[in-house]
Structure 1
């Protein structure tokens, strides 16, 4: 079973690496000191494996860490071993995105083709999954739809994150699943936009060329300042996660410029309503 690191797991990995470097120890010296392989130490520091809290305690002892830092990191190690809701759908979700999304406090998403998965109706999602993934088996499609609907509970739970979705006008005019499915999806989109933690904007055709023409992306931000923002790009050839300050800043600027040329949230809802009536 592939391990999908959460934000907390990445935070723990960063802290362990920082403590090792603070002590001036190499990966091999740590491995020799604990009777581990060098590869294991490396995988712990890069969040490629889920470390046992006992292993973390051994690392902290080697690094001379004291309380309260030691206690907080051991507690963090215990926390990341808890199973997330998405583990019930490991046959559906690939990569780390859902685990990272689940801990976000803010999401900013641009898509020139589709409504964000967190705001899709079941029928719209079914049409997208069937066509986009070219899946003919009805049971597999149903399984993926169920996983997507389970993922959507993120936006209605206590402490729900903010979602700012910007899409091209083509997204609300493309008849995905047929007229009835699309009409219901647009009605649902209006309902979502009325919620305080959700913002929807449309980039109208009249804008012409703009900074979003290169493709879709999502920005994930977290409540803890120690956790860096992530820029995520989903593609048919695989997912890309960008965490460098330069890459994230570039995507933040791109999103700001896209949202600046988009219609206001109020005018966007008016357009959605107009298209639904058509």
Structure 2
């Protein structure tokens, strides 16, 4: 697990479990640790950035963790969760921890609605998308967004890549984002990426009519360890949401299952995209 955010999330879950095991309320635990109750609440919700090792050590003592192996494992987890990933260099670009979670994911299932998935975008397509939202007016910042997106895509080329499964709406394929030349290159890039064994792409044709994904884009992330529950990521123009309740995950898996059933099979989808690229060539 290379993701510091994922390690911090696991630590948060474990600290909450240990506190509840000792039958201590947040208020009582905070009083004994000489902390503000809000501090413990933020820690248990993973609403923190760099865990304080001394505070973690005191919490383990209060919660009765006396086994040296267990203490060392949790303290190591706390230290590793303080590390900086490459995305920290783009703090002015990313408003969420999605790249960090992606780096630790075992599988990523995405429905990007009216766009090509960010992990599949070409540089010129991404540039056209960022220009199109008419929010990024600073040229240097726009280029940093593009560069960050290209670096983010490197997880698909590493030695142990996550399985990436994207259901792409036909509407996203027919929009001439950046013009015919840019879109033709983007479509060809999708076909190239789909040839990789860990990448599956399916096209949701317009002919299906109304479908389960019409409420908007979302991403489901699964992680290797049983202690790391899956999550759903949803991005809005002003915020990023992480859904982690089992019933929420279950609901989005049903939605994604319906999308897969309505979409063209993978091989047919690639032929469909390639045909669209050829039409643009003509």
Tell me the TM-score normalized by structure 1: 0.95
Name the residue aligned to 2:125: 124
1:51-106 C-alpha deviation (Å, 9 max, x unpaired): 12222111111111123222211110011001011000000000222222221110
Instruction: Give the Å deviation of 1:206.
Output: 1.5
Instruction: Give the Å deviation of 1:254.
Output: 0.5
Distance 2:129 2:190 in 1: 16
Name the residue aligned to 2:89: 88
Distance 1:103 1:133 in 2: 32
Name the residue aligned to 1:151: 152
Distance 1:94 1:133 in 2: 18
Instruction: Give the Å deviation of 1:31.
Output: 2.2
SS of aligned partner of 1:224: coil
Matches within 5 A, 1:1-278: 6-49=5-48, 50-65=50-65, 66-278=67-279
SS of aligned partner of 1:6: helix
SS of aligned partner of 2:164: strand
1:123-169 C-alpha deviation (Å, 9 max, x unpaired): 00000011125323221211110010111111111211111000111
Does the 8 A contact of 1:218 with 1:233 survive in 2?
yes
Provide closer, same or farther for how the CA distance between residues 134 and 44 of structure 1 changes in structure 2, counting only shifts above 3 A.
closer
Does the 8 A contact of 2:205 with 2:263 survive in 1?
yes
Distance 2:242 2:41 in 1: 20
Instruction: Give the Å deviation of 1:5.
Output: 7.5
SS of aligned partner of 2:68: coil
1:185-222 C-alpha deviation (Å, 9 max, x unpaired): 11111110000111010011211121111111110110
Instruction: Give the Å deviation of 1:36.
Output: 2.2
Instruction: Tell me whether 85-94 or 17-26 shows the greater mean CA deviation.
Output: 17-26
SS of aligned partner of 1:10: helix
Distance 1:234 1:100 in 2: 14
CA RMSD of aligned residues (A): 1.5
Instruction: Give the Å deviation of 1:275.
Output: 0.4
Does the 8 A contact of 2:4 with 2:82 survive in 1?
no
1:104-128 C-alpha deviation (Å, 9 max, x unpaired): 1101011220111011000000000
Does the 8 A contact of 2:108 with 2:162 survive in 1?
yes
Distance 2:89 2:140 in 1: 16
SS of aligned partner of 1:219: strand
Distance 2:39 2:205 in 1: 51
User: Size of the alignment, in residue pairs?
Assistant: 275
For structure 2, the residue ranges without an aligned partner over 5 or more in a row are none
Distance 1:10 1:133 in 2: 34
Distance 1:41 1:258 in 2: 40
Provide closer, same or farther for how the CA distance between residues 196 and 54 of structure 1 changes in structure 2, counting only shifts above 3 A.
same
Instruction: Tell me whether 101-110 or 46-55 shows the greater mean CA deviation.
Output: 46-55
